[in-house]
Structure 1
Amino acid sequence: MRHIITVGAGQAGVRVVTKLRESGFDGRITLFEKDLNVPNQKKITAADCLDEDSDSANSDAVSDEFFTDRQIDLRLGECVDAVDPLAKTVSTGSQKLNYDELVLATGARPVPLPIQSSNELEGIYTVKELGDIERFSARFVRGNHVTIVGGGLLGLEIAAIAAQRGLRVTLVEQAERVAHNVVTTEISSYLRDLHIRHHVEIMEELSVSQVIGKNRIIGTTLRA
């Protein structure tokens, strides 16, 4: 019997195992998720999290019966520690499982600022999950100044929301153009111009070299 292992039970991982069964795959499916619960399956954007009237906490988590009915072996709270692509095995704790196909759906990881003090100052937030956005949403009030490091689609979306709320917004992108790795040059230029028209200051080909502040961040130093 063929065995497909998927690591990560977020939207991508759950859709993969669901599609496998819908497409008629009758082999063994194992789905690993390091958390004790299946992540929220509802498509929630930064706008939803920063909208005071939005109920982003309303979970659309998939029930255990969903996986049982589809004969999917859901392993909650288990981490895949190692993958051996030559032997086609994954290791989790003291257990080793063979697979025929492996799907890695673990999501992306934000790149932290390469500055030690950035981990010690209040007012610096790293965005990866919904809770990360909710932690700073209370500070999204008119007159405050926010600097967003990273001009991908998420950074652009947060910048647009901040500008709509009347914040002073600076967006710093290390690459030569915003959203450089997800859209064409023409669309990138359109997004850049659109944000500038809405009073977002966009600074490209720059990175943060220093954060300024004692207990809370009050500014940054940029370098080319």
Structure 2
Amino acid sequence: MREPIVIVGAGQASASCAAKLRSLGYDGPLVIIGAEKAAPYQRPPLSKKYVSGELALERLFVRPLSWYEEEKIDLRLETRVAALHPAAHEVELADGSRLKYRDLVLTTGSRPRRLPAAIGGDLAGVFTVRDLADADAIAPTLKAGAKLLVIGGGYIGLEAAAVAAQKGLQVTVIEMADRILQRVAAAPTSDFFRALHQSHGVTIREKTGLAKLVGADGRVTGAELADGSLLPVDVAIVGIGILPNDDLAKEAGIAVDGGILVDGQGRTSDAHVFAAGDCANFLWRGERTRLESVQNAIDQAEHVAAVLLGETKDYDPKPWFWSDQYDIKLQIAGLNRGYDSTVLRPGKRPGTQSIWYFKGGRLVAIDAMNDALAYALGKKALEAGMTADPPVLADPQSDLKTIFG
């Protein structure tokens, strides 16, 4: 019997890779290995509609369980990989057994940065939001009147804050940087979401670090901030970034550097080992890039599947992202890294706007807040390599369809 293609990690990327392999005609043995109990599921809704109770578990799954059976995919859940042995083309499982592979695809994803135990990170009531178990643990604690501290003003933290505020919790967000979203967005986007949260009763404290969480009987009761102030806390959610799961690759001698290093085809330093999704660090437009998004998880995994079956082109992503907070849908296209100027364009309806990012006079990204037309046209322009004259773009009377026609 032929040796299988083995995919390690059971998330969006693994399901996408497997589906693409089958759709392209691969009929050989195919194995997906995942540590969680659940079949591959969508992660973005965890901090939004799932934790709020609006979205049922069944609707999270990328594919129903029956699909894996129909497609003759050996889905091994609650199975941990202990080590990789590239020279032998083997994956070693936690029970000591070994599985031979033809090619190996690492879709191991990422994990949240956690607070050290020394500053209270191990107290009960302190959570991160990354997987189904996290969301299931958080949901019962989101009770009206409870005091929630969100540590980190990135998208995950702000989404959790929005859900909690709508449930009637008293929410405080602390961010040690000068402003929320500083790492990922321009100041006008930060200003928009700061005002949005404040209008829903959320306290935003920027330039404010955490000294430590304090507790009683092993459960969090408060937070001592860097300025010496003390906040009462019933629940804390930590959103201070993520780390790529590249340990297995590193221990196997595969090159890693802020993620698993891959070439344009998703191939690692071992010719028969590939990586895709959050864990993969690839060269794009002259810079090493790791994209933490659904778009990349799907597209890069599908590209690797095509490479496994003979594709030779390099992966050229068209990045897009989104965030839902209250009644605002933020849609992002492109990557704003290295931008040197921005244009704020008011939307046609109150409370809507778009931020356009430029680098050396070239359009590189857009943030659109409840402005689907601006997002659609901006995304189309970015994919076509088009740009625009900033003063014209800033004029709300100008016609986007004409600008990008």
Q: TM-score, normalised by structure 1?
A: 0.76
Look up the match of 1:109.
111
Look up the match of 1:10.
11
How many Å separate the matches in 2 of 1:125 and 1:42?
A: 16
- Structure 1 residue ranges without an equivalent (≥5): none
1:203 to 202, 205, 214: 205
List per-residue Cα deviations over 1:23-66 (Å, max 9, x = no partner): 333444221122455244697443333445x3634466555542
1:95 to 95, 98, 104: 98
How many Å separate the matches in 1 of 2:178 and 2:89?
A: 40
2:221 to 214, 218, 221: 218
- Secondary structure at the aligned position of 1:162 is classed as helix
How many Å separate the matches in 2 of 1:25 and 1:16?
A: 11
Structure 2 CA distance for partners of 1:203 and 1:27, relative to 1, 3 Å: farther
Look up the match of 1:21.
22
Look up the match of 1:56.
56
Alpha carbons 1:89, 1:99 under 8 Å: kept:
no
Q: TM-score, normalised by structure 2?
A: 0.46
Structure 2 CA distance for partners of 1:65 and 1:143, relative to 1, 3 Å: closer
List per-residue Cα deviations over 1:162-211 (Å, max 9, x = no partner): 22233221112344543455x43243443233223333222345442211
Give the alignment of 1:86-165 within 5 angstroms: 89-92=90-93, 93-104=96-107, 106-116=108-118, 118=120, 121-165=123-167
- Secondary structure at the aligned position of 1:166 is classed as coil
Alpha carbons 2:120, 2:214 under 8 Å: kept:
no
Look up the match of 2:373.
none
Residue type of the partner of 2:20? K
- Answer with 1 or 2: which has the greater Rg: 2
- Secondary structure at the aligned position of 2:16 is classed as helix
Structure 2 CA distance for partners of 1:4 and 1:174, relative to 1, 3 Å: farther
How many Å separate the matches in 2 of 1:178 and 1:110?
A: 18
How many Å separate the matches in 1 of 2:37 and 2:134?
A: 19
How many Å separate the matches in 2 of 1:32 and 1:137?
A: 28
Structure 2 CA distance for partners of 1:45 and 1:79, relative to 1, 3 Å: closer
How many Å separate the matches in 2 of 1:187 and 1:47?
A: 20
Alpha carbons 1:28, 1:72 under 8 Å: kept:
yes
Cα-Cα RMSD: 3.3
Quick one: higher RCO (CA 8 Å, sep 6+), 1 or 2?
1
How many Å separate the matches in 1 of 2:43 and 2:156?
A: 17
Structure 2 CA distance for partners of 1:100 and 1:175, relative to 1, 3 Å: farther
Q: Which moved more, 1:141-150 or 1:171-180?
A: 171-180
> CA shift at 1:6, angstroms?
1.3
Look up the match of 1:72.
73
How many Å separate the matches in 1 of 2:44 and 2:148?
A: 25
Residue type of the partner of 2:21? L
- Structure 2 residue ranges without an equivalent (≥5): 228-405
Residue type of the partner of 2:116? P
Residue type of the partner of 2:165? A
Structure 2 CA distance for partners of 1:97 and 1:160, relative to 1, 3 Å: same
Look up the match of 1:47.
48
Is 1:166 the equivalent of 2:176? no
Aligned length: 221
Residue type of the partner of 1:76? L
- Secondary structure at the aligned position of 1:113 is classed as coil
